[in-house]
Amino acid sequence: MDFYLPIAETAANIFVFIGMGAAVGFLSGMFGVGGGFLITPLLMLTGIPSAVAVGTGAAQVVASSVSGTIAQYRRNNVDFKMGLVLCAGGLIGAVFGVQAVSVLRSAGQFDFFVSLSYVVFLGSIGAMMLAESINAIRKSKSGRPTAKRRDTHDGLIHALPWKVRFHRSKIYLSVIPPLAIGAFVGLLSAIMGVGGGFIMVPAMIYLLKMPTNVVIGTSLFQIGVVTALTTVLHATSNQNVDIVLAFLLMIGAVVGAELGANAGQNLRGEHLRFWLAAIVLLVAVRISYDLIATPVNVYSSSFTRETP
């Protein structure tokens, strides 16, 4: 069944997009990632103009993170205090990110830089998580309980001032590391057009030593706030948010997110991390393939609506 999308300016089969939303929503509910790094490339594959794909992808992520946050909140898996600190950092980072985007655009290599950031960050984080989770799975299979590393002295991180107790995460930590992580992710998400969950989740697990379950709920909360802001920014500055397309994706995504959250509940933390690592690496491989492989057509073209 076709529907004409008012902003994307093309007709599209609604079931394709509901299904796409559901698939991405499932992963986002399961792993606590917004799914922006999946939905935006998928939309472009189906012929949605790239600008509209970025703006609408952000709107879709809002819905799946709200649904995911509520599902996680019911299981008491959201550390709102930590989430707000991350958001504060994220806003600072996003401001600098927007500046960086205009600099890169004028240099003419914006697309390449985005692809490269995807490969570098997805690749390194994915590889790191994969190695760690395989190690953890092996350890748990061999019967030895995994050592609780939460209270080890991470010299530098624990020497920082302004320590705050994050009750839900069961950590006592300076606000500086989460602010810095939030800012870094905010910077990247402005450049890459994603919520940044795939960076946020490992950072919280490995740097802040938060429990995996709480990480997922908190990450979803933070992503929801950041992408809501991003959506409004896209709508006002580029008019590239297609509310009809977003609606179709959301319908699929919220159902998928709920199913994903339930599926994730039955998985152990190290298994969750393993599968997230596998998906992240897959996307990294796919993007690097595009960078390296000889393109079918070395030319590409795009119309700009308004003549400058």
Partner 1 sequence: MTRSQDNPKDRVPFRSPIRDLFRSIQIAGLVGLTTIAAHAQAPSATTPPTPATPVIQPATPPQPSSPPQTTYRLETDISMRAIPIDVRFSGARVVIFGSASQMGPPPVNAGPINVVAIIQGAPAHLTVRRKTNAWGVWLNTRSVEFEQAPRYYAVVSTRPLEAVAKTSVLAEYGIGFEHVPISTTLNQAIGLGPIQLSEFRDAAIQLGIANKQYVRLDGGLTFVGKSLFRGQIDLPATVPVGQLDVSVFLFRGGEVVARHENRVTVARQGFEHFVYEFAHRQSLLYGLVTVALATLIGATASVLIQLRRGG
Q: Per residue, what are the HEC states of 34-76?
A: CCHHHHHHHHHHCCCCHHHHHHHHHHHHHHHHHHHHHHHHHCC
User: What are the backbone dihedrals phi and psi of residue 110, each rounded to the nearest 5 degrees, phi first?
Assistant: -60, -50
* DSSP run (H or E) holding 4: strand 2-5
The CB-of-75 to partner 1 minimum distance in angstroms stands at 12
298 binds partner 1 per the rule CB under 8 A? yes
**One-letter amino acid identity for 223?**
I
The answer to whether 234 and 227 are in contact (CB under 8 A) is no
Residue 152 or 239 with smaller CB distance to partner 1: 239
In whole angstroms, what is the distance from residue 226 CA to residue 220 CA? 10
Residue 168 or 234 with smaller CB distance to partner 1: 234
The CB-of-209 to partner 1 minimum distance in angstroms stands at 29
**Tokens 């997230």 -> residue:** 276
Residue 66 or 171 with smaller CB distance to partner 1: 66
Cα angle vertex 189, ends 188, 194, to 5°? 135
The CB-of-58 to partner 1 minimum distance in angstroms stands at 9
Footprint on residues 230-269 left by partner 1 (CB under 8 A): 231-236, 239, 241, 243-244, 246-247, 250-251, 254-255, 257-258
* DSSP run (H or E) holding 163: strand 163-166
303 binds partner 1 per the rule CB under 8 A? yes
51 binds partner 1 per the rule CB under 8 A? yes
Footprint on residues 80-119 left by partner 1 (CB under 8 A): 108-109, 111-112
Residue 33 or 181 with smaller CB distance to partner 1: 33
The CB-of-2 to partner 1 minimum distance in angstroms stands at 4
User: What are the backbone dihedrals phi and psi of residue 191, each rounded to the nearest 5 degrees, phi first?
Assistant: -75, -45
User: Could you tell me which stretch among 68-76, 134-142, 183-191, 211-219 binds partner 1 (CB under 8 A)?
Assistant: 68-76
The CB-of-116 to partner 1 minimum distance in angstroms stands at 8
Residue 162 or 299 with smaller CB distance to partner 1: 299
The CB-of-134 to partner 1 minimum distance in angstroms stands at 29
Footprint on residues 169-228 left by partner 1 (CB under 8 A): 224, 228
In whole angstroms, what is the distance from residue 101 CA to residue 188 CA? 10
- DSSP 3-state of 170: coil
User: Residue 245 burial (CB < 10 Å; 0-12/13-18/19+)?
Assistant: buried
